[in-house]
Amino acid sequence: MIAGLETVTREIRVDGQRMNEVRRAKRNIAMVFQSYALYPGMTARGNVSFEMEMHKIPGPERGGKTAKVAEVLQITDLPDRKPGQLSGGQRQRGPVGRALTLSTRIEVMHAGDVQQIGTARQACDDPADMFVAGFMGSPAMTLLPATATRGARAPCVFDMGKALAFDARTEARIA
């Protein structure tokens, strides 16, 4: 509905403002799909800064925003690589970076449900769930099913038989 791909049947509000009558181009909202949507002939830097170029944002400002977004998404060492030279996770972060150069917060959705709303830094550093962790994580994460229990020799013992120590903040979250 927000992108104009479906007919609006309910009221849509963004930050309290009714968006139903606002033209799609004026909503200042971007979507990033799970498929990578990168331009194969452009570098990672070019893909991230492309939308700003289309909005005629001056070069120095584009460069600064691109560098800041690359830092948040932990892709600062990849600016001159083409999409074919990037891992799957790095390719996912390219379009996310493109959207972030024009916005201050993101909404991560999965199967039509909102998983997390916040800044990209929040989604990377404190993911709301396993999907967000896997989607935004850098480096790519290996997610294993486990149940945390208190142990005598370590703050947390997982049912896989491995004991792990966590910082106080993380331990409080999983306790």
Annotated domain spans of the chain: 31-136, 144-175
d(CA 152, CA 141): 28
Q: Is 123 exposed, middle or buried (0-12, 13-18, 19+ CB in 10 A)?
A: buried
Specify the DSSP element, H or E, that contains 149: strand 148-149
Whole-number mean pLDDT of the chain? 78
> Which architecture, in CATH terms, is 31-136?
3-Layer(aba) Sandwich (3.40)
Q: Encode pLDDT of 43-78 as tens digits.
A: 989 988 988 888 888 999 999 989 988 888 888 888
- What's the pTM? 0.52
Query: Between the CA of residue 42 and those of 34, 76, 101, what are the distances in Å?
Result: 19, 16, 17
